[in-house]
Amino acid sequence: MSADVRAFQWPLRVYWEDTDAGGIVYYANYLKFFERARTEWLRSLGLAQSELAAQAGLVFVVADVHLRYAAPARLDDALQIQLRLQDFGAASLQVVQHAWLTDAQGAPVTLLCEATVRAGCVQAASLRPARIPAEMRTRISRWAAG
């Protein structure tokens, strides 16, 4: 993925709840961090998942994740989660997400974890694949076009 693909950025902080007895962020918790960033990316486009569920009966479920851990994060670390759209189909989308340790100014300095995440749009009741609503498609496409 070329460096000039548009990125959404979301800051977060490492709390006690995120760490384990090894003194570092527990490996499963990066999936929480990445999910928060996807949710905030959609919210930044005016798309709340609770409304998508209530109004259209649709939810996004993750189908495939590839995680590569590069360095550990610790209590009180300030992180930046980046999200880039990699693929966008009728019923699914794929994003690449990076978790960075940031410096005191909030600039990313050390890569912690990289993930490729594919999520599908499904009917909440049946969990069967469903087309992403047109309005949502438009907003995401416009964002990607920058």
Nearer to a second copy, 14 or 85 (CB): 14
Tell me how far apart the alpha carbons of residues 9 and 80 are, in angstroms, rounded to a whole number.
7
For the annotated catalytic residues, the residue numbers are 20
The reply on whether position 123 binds a second copy by CB under 8 A is no
Tell me how far apart the alpha carbons of residues 10 and 14 are, in angstroms, rounded to a whole number.
13
The reply on whether position 59 binds a second copy by CB under 8 A is yes
**What sign does the dihedral 17-96-67-78 (CA atoms) show?**
negative
Nearer to a second copy, 24 or 93 (CB): 24
The reply on whether position 65 binds a second copy by CB under 8 A is yes
Tell me how far apart the alpha carbons of residues 139 and 146 are, in angstroms, rounded to a whole number.
11
The three-class DSSP label of residue 41 is: helix
CB of 35 to a second copy, least distance (A): 6
The structure tokens listed for 126 are 């049946």
The reply on whether position 23 binds a second copy by CB under 8 A is yes
Binding site for a second copy (CB under 8 A): 13, 15-17, 19-24, 26-29, 31-32, 35-36, 39-40, 43, 48-51, 53, 59, 61-69, 72, 74-76, 124, 127
